[in-house]
A and B are shown apart, each in its own frame.
Chain A
Amino acid sequence: MGEIIVFTSGKGGVGKTTTIANIGAGLSQLDKKVVMLDTDMGLRNLDVVMGLEDRINYNLLDLLENRCRLNQALIKDKRFPNLFLIPASLKNVPLGQYERAFAILTEQLKSEFDYCLIDCPAGIDQGFHFATSVADRAIILITPHISAVKDASRVLHLLNGTKINKVELIINEYDEKLVRKKYMLSKNDIEELFDIPVLGTIPHDYKVIISQNKGIPVVTMHSKATRRFMYLSKQMITDCSCAEGAYAYDFS
């Protein structure tokens, strides 16, 4: 049985899509069968970051409205061993009405994949509730900037009341130099504020931008970010196999 993990943040532009693309690729290189699901309806870009935009025939909305079979909507990324993508629709529709269909779809994905990674839209309205409603685990993406941290704390609060039983943080755009000077919040500061574990940090890396311009995940290149994404991919697996609840965030 696979695990459904939603990547969320509250604030937009903090690196959800970038992180899913690279952890997805990373996990598949670690022999896991992975499907990435873009729920950012109307503003899809996981396909663009992955360079798979030309291969789209059907999308998540088609699946939810029964216009196609699962196999028709799954795009296989041939550059990786076992990596698939289901893109979002171009149409922006209210997602509340599809929550049941989404639950059925993700149950099916869970039986066929080791990991189902959900790219959540920014904000905390319908799209957020839709994307988080089916997840077993959440990863909150933040940058060490006060507004991103503030928004993430709202998100953590809202995850209370879903069936998610495990929440972790990933810090993107982390600058060790600025942290040492005490210009920027540190990993420890953030861990203390949230009282949930930080899986790891990702530095700003121009190769991320180059790789996205080319439509390939940065983990195929040599870079600082690559090492971090591969480390994070491993963390995700180890973390998952540890004793039940050992790292779980206790909502009570």
Chain B
Amino acid sequence: MIFHKSDYSSIAKERLKIMMESDTLEYSSKDIAQLKKEISALVSRYFDTPADLFEIRITLKQNQKRV
């Protein structure tokens, strides 16, 4: 995003927006582990591949955070 050279309030606002969004995404590691387990069960079923031959990665688009 491009701001006018001295528009410091918009810089602050954009930074806060991102911080406040990632704050609300308080995922518990237990939930994430369970999610990965369920996805990998699905993948093995559809591709007929054992779970140790692939890897599940989840990246949240909002802040590029990998969970």
Contacts and interface: CB of A to CB of B under 8 A. Distances in A.
B7 to A, nearest CB: 5
A185 B8 CA distance: 8
A2 B65 CA distance: 46
B16 A182 contact: no
Contact of A179 (B6, B9, B10, B17): B9
Contacts of A186: 9
B11 to A, nearest CB: 9
A183 B8 contact: yes
B13 interface: yes
A182 B20 contact: no
Contact of A193 (B7, B13, B24): B13
A31 interface: no
Interface residues of B, number: 15
Interface string A188-221: 0100110000000000000000000000000000
Interface of A: 146, 149-150, 153-154, 157, 179, 181-186, 189, 192-193
B17 A193 contact: yes
A182 B10 CA distance: 8
Given A157-B24, A189-B13, A182 B7 contact: yes
A153 B20 contact: yes
A181 B16 contact: no
Contacts of A146: 12, 15-16
Contacts of A193: 13, 16-17, 20
A185 B9 contact: yes
6 contacts: A146-B16, A153-B19, A157-B23, A185-B13, A193-B16, A193-B20
Interface in B1-53: 4, 6-10, 12-13, 15-17, 19-20, 23-24
Nearest to B8: A183
Contacts of A182: 4, 6-10
Contacts of B8: 182-184
A171 to B, nearest CB: 13
A149 B16 contact: yes
A181 B19 contact: no
A153 B23 contact: yes
A150 B17 CA distance: 10
Contacts of B20: 150, 153, 193
Given A157-B23, A157-B24, A150 B7 contact: no
B9 A183 contact: yes
> When A and B form their complex, which 5 residue pairs have the shortest distance between CB atoms, in order from nearest?
A182-B7, A153-B20, A182-B9, A189-B13, A146-B12
Contact of B16 (A153, A157, A179, A184): A153
B54 to A, nearest CB: 36
A146 B13 CA distance: 8
Contact of A184 (B9, B19, B24): B9
Contacts of A185: 9, 12-13
